[in-house]
Amino acid sequence: MTERTPISTGSDWTFELIQDYDREIGRVAREFGLDTYPNQIEIISAEQMLDAYSSVGMPVGYNHWSYGKHFVSNEQHYRRGQMGLAYEIVINSNPCIAYLMEENTMTMQALVIAHACYGHNSFFKGNYLFRTWTDATSIIDYLVFAKNYIMKCEERYGVDEVEAILDSCHALMNYGVDRYKRPYPISAEEEKQRQREREEYLQKQVNELWKTIPQLGDKADHHDVKRYPEEPQENLLYFIEKNAPLLEPWQREVVRIVRKIAQYFYPQRQTQVMNEGWATFWHYTLLNKLYEEGKVTDGFMLEFLQSHTSVVYQPPFDSRFYSGINPYALGFNMMSDIRRICENPTKEDKKWFPDIAGSDWKETLTFAMQNFKDESFVQQFLSPKVIREFKFFSILDDDKERDLHITAIHDDPGYRDIREALSKQYNLSMNEPNIQVYNVNVRGDRSITLRHVRHNRRPLETESAEEVLKHLHRLWKFDVILESVQDNTVMDTIKCGANGIEKKSTEKDEEEEELSLIQRV
């Protein structure tokens, strides 16, 4: 070990020290080949951190009561000591903005710098989802545009009116994403210029679609007519923005804003394990390197390790603290495991990962970071060793069986099944009901039909689905029908018209029949 010349010894931070640490960590990060956006490190107070929390980390955002709700509940939890504040928030922008809390000790500040400013930052810059779906250079501008636009709408049309539209859009926010098509990059400059043109153009287009006067008794030739849209549409908000018959131009713009913001957050929802794992792996690696170089003290390392271990702790399923798989824990372990496989492969590794065992770990890890999302990352890199360490087991929950079944555990025959099941667990389109726009009755009553395609017979939660339909009805303004489809037969229909909700279910009868059958037996 070299001679120890630590950057600092106390626990208090100063701006000079932060600068020194940042320089050192940045140097080490470059030595490891991390490619980052420039950093903007902002020191904020706890109150400001609470503010940042409730706006889901966006530095500027339009006003809406739901953010107030988050704020109020976070504040309450924080005051009562039920919740600690995150040490940091980092924003996918260029320059990459990271918030550091003033309450942190010097060690924590260094940890956060390594974690956010070099870990997350390089992930934002490198990962393919972020590269395709978000535009780091323009997001802040766009948020400013959105905030101002919504403020102007509130002035012109009243807070209640705007709030109602936003509520409805938020209900559909998860369905405002193009999953397969690369969206147009958003930029504030362009937005402003194009926004007015678009308003007029859109309205014209919509009028075109609805030009036919609705006629009754049209049903005879209904089957000959092609459905509109011809192919089912997954992006509900986009479809509404472009096709809703009675929306005002400004309302379309509001729909668009919510849609764009949903799009911006889409990659984050798909890369939680990888993103946190990557950042945790790098803060661990970078700070250990500084320790080897003698730049930090033993005390620093103890404090750092204490906090690091609690971050990557995975409580077992039967623990009081268990709330699902900890993405930090899984991500960090997988990242470290990839390094291990590259550097010291065992026989098992050579069998399971013939192409990466023994390769250069930095290259392999960077490749993994750049080209995967949680789902495929787990599918590709979850090793038997990690499965064993986590003691993973897989449960099958089938409502047709009385008991739950353990289908696989952390043993030889189970590895592949576990990996498969865990990978699916991170597949967003598996977790969210698959709902698409199926048909619009263009020539008749203008009703819109959505189809929910059931996977593994999993039904929709009806109560909230009804609420969402009411919101959709507010946007569409004509009847809204949601059909739940299984094996090409419609099981459930919920219709939301001007007079409220109507329900029709074929499934209930079936169940009752089954029940009566069982009773007879």
Partner 1 sequence: MSYIVDRRLNGKNKSTVNRQRFLRRYRKHIKKAVDEAVTKRSITDLDSGESISIPRRDISEPFFHHGKGGKRDMVHPGNKEFVTGDHIQRPQGGSGGGGGGDGDASDSGEGIDDFVFQISQDEFLDFLFEDLELPNLVKRQLQGIESFKYVRAGVVNEGNPAKINVVRSMRQATSRRIALTASSRRRLREAEEKLAALQEQDPVLRDKRKEEELELEIAKLKRRINKIPFVDTIDLRYNLHLKQPKPTSKAVMFCLMDVSGSMNQAMKDMAKRFFILLYMFLKRNYEKIEVVFIRHHTSAKEVDEEEFFYSRETGGTIVSSALKMMRDIMKDRYPADEWNIYGAQASDGDNWNDDSPTCREILIKDILPQVQYYSYIEINPRRHQALWREYETIEATVEHFAMQQISDPGDIYPVFRELFQRKETKRAS
**Residue numbers 293-312 binding partner 1 by CB under 8 A:** none
| Closest distance to partner 1 from the beta carbon of 206 (Å) | 25
Decide if 28 contacts 289 (C-beta within 8 A): yes
Instruction: Report whether the peptide linkage leading into residue 229 is cis, meaning its omega lies within 30 degrees of zero.
Output: yes
Instruction: Report whether the peptide linkage leading into residue 59 is cis, meaning its omega lies within 30 degrees of zero.
Output: no
Residues 12-31 that bind partner 1 (CB under 8 A): 15, 18-19, 22, 26
**Which residue of 83, 86, 173, 301 would you call a contact of partner 1, by CB under 8 A?**
173
**Which residue of 83, 85, 409, 453 would you call a contact of partner 1, by CB under 8 A?**
409
Residues 86-105 that bind partner 1 (CB under 8 A): 95, 99, 102
Residues 59-78 that bind partner 1 (CB under 8 A): 63-69, 71-73, 75-76
Binding segment toward partner 1, per CB under 8 A, in 35-43, 272-280, 350-358, 364-372 = 35-43
Q: Can residue 212 be called a binding residue for partner 1 (CB under 8 A)?
A: no
Query: Measured from the CB atom, is 144 or 442 closer to partner 1?
Result: 144
| Closest distance to partner 1 from the beta carbon of 314 (Å) | 5
Long-range contacts of 294-297 (CB under 8 A, 24+ apart): 294/1, 294/2, 294/3, 294/4, 294/5, 294/6, 295/5, 295/6, 295/7, 295/24, 296/6, 296/7, 296/110, 297/4, 297/6, 297/9
For residue 96, what are the CA distances in angstroms to 185, 268, 276, 327? 18, 15, 16, 22
Binding segment toward partner 1, per CB under 8 A, in 210-218, 357-365, 367-375, 432-440 = 432-440
| Closest distance to partner 1 from the beta carbon of 192 (Å) | 23
Q: Can residue 315 be called a binding residue for partner 1 (CB under 8 A)?
A: yes
Task: Count residues binding partner 1 (CB under 8 A).
Answer: 104
**Which residue of 32, 43, 78, 293 would you call a contact of partner 1, by CB under 8 A?**
43
Binding segment toward partner 1, per CB under 8 A, in 45-53, 285-293, 343-351, 356-364 = 45-53
**Which residue of 221, 224, 231, 397 would you call a contact of partner 1, by CB under 8 A?**
397
> What residues contact 263, with CB distance under 8 A and at least 6 apart?
133, 134, 176, 177, 178, 183
| Residues in contact with partner 1, shown as a per-residue x/- string from 498 to 517 under the rule CB under 8 A | --------------------
Decide if 282 contacts 118 (C-beta within 8 A): yes
Angle of helix 159-171 relative to helix 139-157, nearest 10 degrees, comes to 130
Binding segment toward partner 1, per CB under 8 A, in 83-91, 191-199, 297-305, 455-463 = 455-463
| Closest distance to partner 1 from the beta carbon of 175 (Å) | 7
Binding segment toward partner 1, per CB under 8 A, in 128-136, 225-233, 457-465, 494-502 = 457-465
- Triad 401, 406, 412: Cα angle to 5°: 145
| Closest distance to partner 1 from the beta carbon of 54 (Å) | 5
**Which residue of 292, 363, 461, 514 would you call a contact of partner 1, by CB under 8 A?**
461
Residues 236-255 that bind partner 1 (CB under 8 A): none
| Closest distance to partner 1 from the beta carbon of 426 (Å) | 10
3-class DSSP state of 497: strand
Q: Can residue 414 be called a binding residue for partner 1 (CB under 8 A)?
A: yes
| Closest distance to partner 1 from the beta carbon of 87 (Å) | 16
Query: Measured from the CB atom, is 231 or 318 closer to partner 1?
Result: 318
Structure tokens at 37: 């956006």
**Which residue of 12, 197, 224, 318 would you call a contact of partner 1, by CB under 8 A?**
318
Structure tokens at 285: 């690696």
- Triad 67, 477, 68: Cα angle to 5°: 5
Long-range contacts of 427-431 (CB under 8 A, 24+ apart): 427/375, 428/269, 428/270, 428/375, 429/179, 430/455
| The one-letter amino acid at 381 | F
Structure tokens at 425: 């667990």
| Residues in contact with partner 1, shown as a per-residue x/- string from 99 to 138 under the rule CB under 8 A | x--x--------------x---------------------
CB-hemisphere CA count at 13 Å for 486? Answer: 13
**Which residue of 422, 480, 481, 494 would you call a contact of partner 1, by CB under 8 A?**
422
Residues 464-503 that bind partner 1 (CB under 8 A): 464-465, 467-468, 471
| Closest distance to partner 1 from the beta carbon of 216 (Å) | 32
Structure tokens at 208: 């075109």
Query: Measured from the CB atom, is 146 or 206 closer to partner 1?
Result: 146
Q: Can residue 174 be called a binding residue for partner 1 (CB under 8 A)?
A: yes
Residues 352-391 that bind partner 1 (CB under 8 A): 390-391
| The one-letter amino acid at 429 | S
Query: Measured from the CB atom, is 32 or 71 closer to partner 1?
Result: 71
| Closest distance to partner 1 from the beta carbon of 210 (Å) | 27
Query: Measured from the CB atom, is 2 or 456 closer to partner 1?
Result: 456
| Closest distance to partner 1 from the beta carbon of 505 (Å) | 12
Decide if 171 contacts 467 (C-beta within 8 A): yes
**Which residue of 27, 157, 161, 163 would you call a contact of partner 1, by CB under 8 A?**
163
Query: Rg of the Cα trace of the chain?
Result: 26
Long-range contacts of 192-196 (CB under 8 A, 24+ apart): 192/145, 195/149, 195/253
Q: Which residue has the tokens 């764009």?
A: 260
> What does DSSP say about strands 96-101 and 39-44: parallel, antiparallel, or unpaired?
parallel
Closest C-alpha to 437, from 187, 224, 172, 180: 172
CA dist 495 and 473 (Å) reads 10
Decide if 379 contacts 423 (C-beta within 8 A): yes
